[in-house]
Amino acid sequence: MSVTAAHTGPSSFSTPGTLHTTVTPSERGNEEPTSSASTPVNSASVGPSQQTWTKLKPLNARDAILRPLAIDTLPAPKANEALFLLESADRLWYMGFVEPWKEFNADATKFWNSKEVVSAFHEIGGKPRPPPRATDNDVASDSHPFELLTSWFQRDVVEFVIDISNGLMLNSTAKEGSVQGVFLGEPSEEDLGNNECKWDPTFVVKAALQSVDLETRALGQVEYLGGKAGALTSAIDECPRNTWGSLRCVLGDIARFMLMSSTRYAFLLSSDEIIFLKTEIMSKCEYPRGRDPVDLFVEPWLFYSAPIKFTDILDEDKGTIPVKLALLYLLQLSKQGGWQMHEEIGDSLKYFETRKAGERYIPKLDFIGPDGKLKLLGKY
């Protein structure tokens, strides 16, 4: 009997294990074009986080991607602020398998250092990038912090990285199969909701294909989590205890959206951190002697990256990467085709549990009482 990952389609140059060549920092510096309107990527004295970035002083594409995030529009969180927007509402918990996506940062760094990607950036390096638009006319400055966070992340990160990603695809070395480009879609365009489950992810990233079809390739979810610093790190730490706000609690909505839409990749952010997600379909087989293998089950496993702070920079020694680089890598992964969720998985609610606001999850086992403590079994 064994557990294996189901086939997930063809590999590509950005898939872990297929980045054939990398370049050193000095080589990257030699290859990156410079101009009077941009600063060299590997400036010895000033890094991307310290460079001035304005319309009059734009950055080249690589520096813009490496620049850490800085949000100054969120008000200080209130004491005892609710983790979720609907404070007293029931919460859907994801109860399937969850595992760390341990290699995410390392593979994203390999992707960034690959000659294919360096070459693609070389092609667009002569076009300096101004900073993203600073305001959103649809969101007032006194809006709820969730709305401010969502609007800022869409402008500063999602739209900007999508634009860079599509620019890279114009270079033949970075084209990915039949995908012509990616763009933000509207959740309301999908008819996936029903009486049992809503369908309203914060971000839907679609791919435009040669066949003129559109496919959802990645999802994004904003969970303000009370504006608490390090809320996603805390959620992961609390996962074994299944407390309110722990990982399975926080993952409930985005995991359900991924299953409903047969989407393999996603990201989830709080007020100062982000994690990246992927689904693998795992099958458990039995090999009876003299007979064909028998599938005992086929289930989704959800893998999550280590939380990336908005302020993180690219530091290969420490293993940290900036948010925009991480999202660029996820978008590249999402352009690969040949992956589908099993139909019975996407339609199933068996991987979820509903809990009242503030409650922890207690497994339904005969030897555990309603208070979460072990029962005394038998006579003593």
For residue 3, is pLDDT > 70?
no
List the structure tokens of 287.
């090999």
- CB contact set of 213 (below 8 Å; sequence gap of 6+): none
- Between 18-32, 205-219, 350-364, the lowest mean confidence (pLDDT) is in 18-32
Task: Locate the domains of the chain by residue range.
Answer: 91-355
**pLDDT for res 20:** 35
How high does pLDDT run on average in the chain? Answer: 79
Output phi, psi for 296, to 5 deg.
-80, -35
Split at pLDDT 50, 70, 90, the class of 270 is very high
**Cα 83–chain centre separation:** 20
Q: What is the DSSP string of 148-171?
A: HHHHHHIIIIIHHHHHHHHHHHTS
Model confidence, pTM: 0.81
SS3 251: helix
CA distance 30 to 51: 20
Split at pLDDT 50, 70, 90, the class of 27 is very low
**pLDDT for res 371:** 57
What share of the chain has pLDDT > 90, as a percent? 43
SS3 188: helix
- CB contact set of 142 (below 8 Å; sequence gap of 6+): none
